[in-house]
Amino acid sequence: MAVYDVFNGDADGICALLQLRQVNPMPSTLVTGVKRDISLLKNVTVAPGDHVNVLDVSLDKNRLDLERILSDGATVFYADHHYAGEIPSHPRLSTLINLSPEVSTSALINGHLKGQRAGWAIVGCYGDNLDSTAEKIVNTLGAPEDLSRWKELGVLINYNGYGASIDDLHFAPADLYARLLPHNDPQHCLDNDPDLIQTLRAAYGDDMRQAETAPRIIEENALSVVAFPDAPWARRVSGVYGNSLANSVPDRAHAVLTEIPQGYLVSVRAPLNARQGADELCRQFPTGGGRAAAAGINELPADRLDDFIVAMRKQFA
């Protein structure tokens, strides 16, 4: 029997799989990519009796390949918090899907495993900008002395996942997961792999400084839109900068537009104080998706930018 672990390359996907494999270690084939590479099941070919774990990627975006994998005889465990659409009913499919804006895949796996690796769930929640959810899990664990560094670790792992391709990233997600796997809790990682943290911290600081100088093309009470150039630093920081904006002005919706050859890559954050509507906005466009609090569009044609801004105002103003 072959086992496949399919996971988003951001903090939530990586930290979900860390919990699963530290508690239930076994050899598996890793299938992942940059954060926005979510149609991952197309890369999985199974035989009868194989097993596939899918973590932190939309079922709706992988529906046809999920049905193919099930029809080819594999069992599937699917855990996620993104828009799923209709969930198939199949005897070889088990799901752990919750679309609440305060839920992450790491938190779902934490509950599934009864808190056996709660530290990594906390890091995953912080990486997904779900600070209140992270702090609820902290209360079950007892506050670590270096909790602020755990939060930074989550942000840095999440930052590493953004890019147009693996070449934009500082660490390939599968490599980063493998580097974190020997550490049963975040503190052990912080204490024993300082080079990892220092590398990501320095790069994150450089990219965020460039982001702060980017032009605001819209800045209103209800929403803001920031424009980034077509550059690796911009692709790397688009998501975490959106989180930073949401944290700094929690009653405002934010969009970060990054130029790409096809038009724009878009990251949307709903107001932090009303985590709803980002997915509804982005699904109005062909390559859009995500969750209620944070969503994106992989390719927004330049001639549809005005349509996007009109739709964003309608959604949030």
Tell me the per-residue pLDDT of 286-313, one tens digit each, with 9 for 90 and over.
Answer: 999 999 999 999 999 999 999 999 999 9
Residue 236 carries which side chain, given as an amino acid letter? R
Which residue stretches of the chain are H helix? 11-23, 63-71, 105-112, 118-127, 131-141, 147-160, 173-180, 186-192, 194-212, 232-248, 278-282, 305-316
The per-residue pLDDT for 233 is 96
Residue 190 carries which side chain, given as an amino acid letter? L
Per CATH, domain 3-200 is 3.90.1640? yes
Look-up: residue for tokens 């890091």?
123
The per-residue pLDDT for 216 is 94
Distance of CA 22 to the CA centre of its chain: 20
Confidence band of 103 (pLDDT split at 50, 70, 90) = very high
| Mean pLDDT on 52-80 | 97
Mean pLDDT of the chain: 96
Rounded to two decimals, the pTM is 0.91
Confidence band of 145 (pLDDT split at 50, 70, 90) = confident
Does position 13 have pLDDT exceeding 90, yes or no?
Answer: yes
Distance (Å, whole) CA 161 – CA 95: 25
Cβ-contact 173, 34 below 8 angstroms:
yes
CATH topology of domain 214-316: Diaminopimelate Epimerase; Chain A, domain 1 (3.10.310)
The per-residue pLDDT for 312 is 98
The per-residue pLDDT for 142 is 77
Burial of residue 36, with CB atoms counted within 10 A of its CB: 0-12 exposed, 13-18 middle, 19 or more buried: buried
| Mean pLDDT on 188-203 | 97
Encode 207-244: b = buried (16+ Cβ within 10 Å), e = exposed. Answer: bbebbeebeeeeeeeebbbbbbeeeebbbbbbbbbbbb
Eight-state DSSP code of residue 155: H
Domain ranges of the chain: 3-200, 214-316
| Mean pLDDT on 126-139 | 95
The per-residue pLDDT for 317 is 85
Backbone dihedral angles phi then psi of residue 269, each to the nearest 5 degrees = -125, 120
The per-residue pLDDT for 316 is 96
Does position 144 have pLDDT exceeding 90, yes or no?
Answer: no
The per-residue pLDDT for 141 is 84
Helix (H, G, I), strand (E, B) or coil at 76: strand
